[in-house]
Amino acid sequence: MTYAVTAVSGQLGRAIAETLVALPGGVPVVGLARSPGKVADLGIDLRPGDYERPEQLQASLTGVDALVIVSGMAPPDQRIQQHRNVIDAARAAGVQKLVYTSIIGPEEGTRFSPVVQSNRQTEADIRASGLDWAIGRNGIYIEPDIDYIDSYKARGEIANSAGPGKCGYTTRSELAHAYAALLTRDDLNGGTFDLNGKPITQAELAGYLNQTFGTQLIYREMTPEDFVADRSAELGDFIGPIIGGIYEGIQQGAYDRPGDFEAVTGRPHQPWEALFSTLRA
């Protein structure tokens, strides 16, 4: 079997490719990227993979048996067609199985919902492709909160609109193991799986950060409107509302779910105590 991963120039795509390379037996791994030269250090067969260029995608997928499609970052309406380009190219190239990195989230009622809806449409397109398939739905990455620690320190708080809602976070490393399993295990074909760790509140997150970094952060709840304004001022009018919508979903309970990580990988998701203990070390 030859496995391929799209968007290996991104953090999740790269992590999945590295996990596949490390599997026993040395399976052949192909990495697709819009600019393959930027990730030459991966040490795998790199091929061009621009979601806007169907003919290029088909040529690059020649000889591939199973493919992970990493969800794109374009606006929702553009993203749907981009993913269709990859699906159509995979089918034309003779790929036998598709795995898609979808997301957990509310399909209606938040500023993030249009992104969730676009992912659900791609899920439907993959199910209708006529190929074998498996779909993962990612929890929220916890790494941005860790990377944001200096800003949290400066403010002395974590402030957002999640309120007491619990969020099933995950890490790119854990997701990479899950997608390697979804790609290589045929017994998971035809399944849709929530990929997240134990749900925690923002106050619990602040506690883990305090233990790890020696801070004294508190959690302060904001209104959704104020939080969107805050994020838009820093991140712009496209990303700001999306981030705000994610936290609206946390407040509504959309991310408070046990998840299917162990069913996919054969082991529990990394506990948060273990992750933050590693960071302290």
Q: What would the DSSP string read from start to end of 37-59?
A: GGGGGG-SEEEE--TT-HHHHHH
How many residues are recorded in the chain? Answer: 281
CA dist., res. 3 & res. 214, Å (int): 43
CA dist., res. 156 & res. 35, Å (int): 40
For the chain, the structural domain boundaries read 3-137+171-195+258-266
Which residues 6+ apart lie within 8 Å of 138 measured at CB? 101, 102, 103, 104, 170, 175, 195, 196
Residue pLDDT tens, the chain, 281 long? 999 999 999 999 999 999 999 999 889 999 999 999 999 999 999 999 999 999 999 999 999 999 999 999 999 999 999 999 999 999 999 999 999 999 999 999 999 999 999 999 999 999 999 999 999 999 999 999 999 999 999 999 999 999 999 999 999 999 999 999 999 999 999 999 999 999 999 999 999 999 999 999 999 999 999 999 999 999 999 999 999 999 999 999 999 999 999 999 999 999 999 999 999 98
pTM exceeds 0.75 for this model: yes
CA dist., res. 34 & res. 251, Å (int): 36
Paired residues of 48 in beta bridges? 33
Residue 4 three-state SS: strand
Please tell us whether the domain made up of 3-137+171-195+258-266 is placed in CATH 3.40.50.720: yes
With CA atoms as reference, report the closest residue to 138 among 96, 108, 109, 167.
167
